[in-house]
Amino acid sequence: IGMGEKDLQDPRSMNFIQALSLKKEVIVAYFGDGKNLQFLDSFTQPVIWSADTSEDAAHLVPQVIFGGVAVDKKLNRQYSPRYTAGSGFSTQAIRLKYTVPEDAGVNSEDLRGIDEIAAETIREKAAPGVVVLVAKGGKVIFNKAYGYHTYANVRADRVTDIFDMASVTKTTVTTPSVMRLVEQGKLKLDTNVGSYIPKARNTPMNLTRVRDVMLHQAGFIPYIPFHNFIKEGDYRRDSNALFNVKVADSFFVKKEFYTNFMWPRMLNSPIKTQGKYVYSDISMYVMKDITERISGVPLNEYVWDNFYSPLGMQGAGFLPRNKFTRDQIVPTEQDTYFRNTLLEGYVHDQGAALAGGISGHAGLFANANDVAIIYQMLLNKGTYGGQQYFKPETVELFTSRQSNISRRGLGFDRADPDRSKKYPSELASAQTYGHTGYTGTCVWVDPDRGLVYVFLSNRVHPAVNEKLGNLKIRGRIQDAINKAIDLGIK
């Protein structure tokens, strides 16, 4: 509760907070010169005092409460019998802080290149809108939205908007779940897939190691275009007890389409390139099934209970139309070949959609801040908000290079050691890890710079195009950030 000098002298206000404190956890934020601290002598709940009464000070208080800003000041003299010289508590910064670039040693002017590249993105119709977030040293120093949800220029992008994360799902949902189960000793990376999935035991997938699945070198084919197999009779425009899997507005398929057709097709797909790096969506269908069998919990519930909810990632999850309004969700494709509708809050990936919107390779929707939180936790070697989610060695194992034939970590993509490829950007450090998403998203962690970089767009609207990649928008913005960090404050 924010209070000024007059509030502390008002008996009604004081009686109100005293009564409220008997029922609720109350923190008083007092803005004033300190002369009225005496009125809080009998108040036993925490008090945050700021002699600065500006709007900026008011914005800092919530960050102090939630651990984004550390406090270590003590009273320099006695203000009342309770508030004596030297009294006060120290806190630590345990969550992201929201501040100006200079607070992290970066010149604001040096980040203007982001604006220019974002404007180019929209001007060249590489995407109708973009959100860029930059966190340096645990401090969010840049969080900005550009453009609109669509080229109709009706609804402007906001930093709180929910985007289809596409394959960023792999490292934000499935891989953390695998990490937790490996750390608990419930999942062994060098055990065969058939040991976990009974139906795989009489298929080519049986003897494939989990480790190779996570490294995309198990020999799986890249993907199967399941939507091409949908025919009349496989779907309805309204739901009933049989057609109960919602793929889009007015498009429902049978639940059995996944269990009786998609999953057997994947399990029996040929192993053609074992021992070679071939990026495959099938890998994360497999890992979803394994994690759910071990945990006994659906993947979307597992990741929410173990990570998103305790981390405070309220905008992240699957099936966003169950939680958010349409205007909060950025649309993707105007689908003219499968679902024949504008995709608003339904996963763009056709296979994930036919699986009910929840899959290990796609289906996650999130805003930039929520994405930044979980990757800041990884950058912190597994801790965030005073809670340890992973041991440091677990984070190191999965995010470091684990293959002799590719740049990959376990689940995570990484900077290419061949610097001529400039992936994910020319200046990215060799330790950079993260992932990209087909819809025009990416997140990269650069431990050498203490950087978390999030880029969100809907480049597949109104239809799939390659301009975002051809213009190297994501990498160029990343390098604009890298240059600004490397320059520091002049």
Say which residues have a Cβ less than 8 Å from residue 134's Cβ, sequence separation at least 6.
111, 114, 140, 141, 142, 143, 451, 452, 453, 454, 481
Would you state the structure tokens that stand for residue 1, as one six-digit string? 């509760």
Q: How many domains does the chain have?
A: 1
Q: Which domain holds residue 86?
A: 2-93
When the pLDDT of each residue in the chain is averaged and rounded to a whole number, the result is 96
- d(Cα 63, Cα 342) in Å, to the nearest integer? 38
Residue 227 is given by DSSP the state G
Residue 26's alpha-carbon distances to 20, 179, 310, in angstroms, are 7, 37, 21
The whole model's pTM is what?
0.94
Establish if 363 belongs to a structural domain: no
Establish if 11 belongs to a structural domain: yes
pLDDT at 91: 82
- d(Cα 25, Cα 21) in Å, to the nearest integer? 6
Altogether, the residues listed in the chain come to a count of 490
pLDDT at 236: 95
pLDDT at 490: 65
Establish if 18 belongs to a structural domain: yes
Say which residues have a Cβ less than 8 Å from residue 190's Cβ, sequence separation at least 6.
209, 210, 211
Say which residues have a Cβ less than 8 Å from residue 325's Cβ, sequence separation at least 6.
none
* Per-residue model confidence as pLDDT tens digits over 159-170: 999 999 999 999
Establish if 17 belongs to a structural domain: yes
Asked whether the beta carbons of 197 and 289 are under 8 A apart, the reply is: yes
Report helix, strand or coil for 435.
Answer: strand
* Per-residue model confidence as pLDDT tens digits over 301-335: 999 999 999 999 999 999 999 999 999 999 999 99
Would you state the structure tokens that stand for residue 257, as one six-digit string? 């389409």
pLDDT at 175: 99
Q: Which residues of the chain have pLDDT under 70?
A: 490
Establish if 27 belongs to a structural domain: yes
Establish if 79 belongs to a structural domain: yes
Report helix, strand or coil for 345.
Answer: coil
- d(Cα 446, Cα 442) in Å, to the nearest integer? 13
Asked whether the beta carbons of 252 and 383 are under 8 A apart, the reply is: no
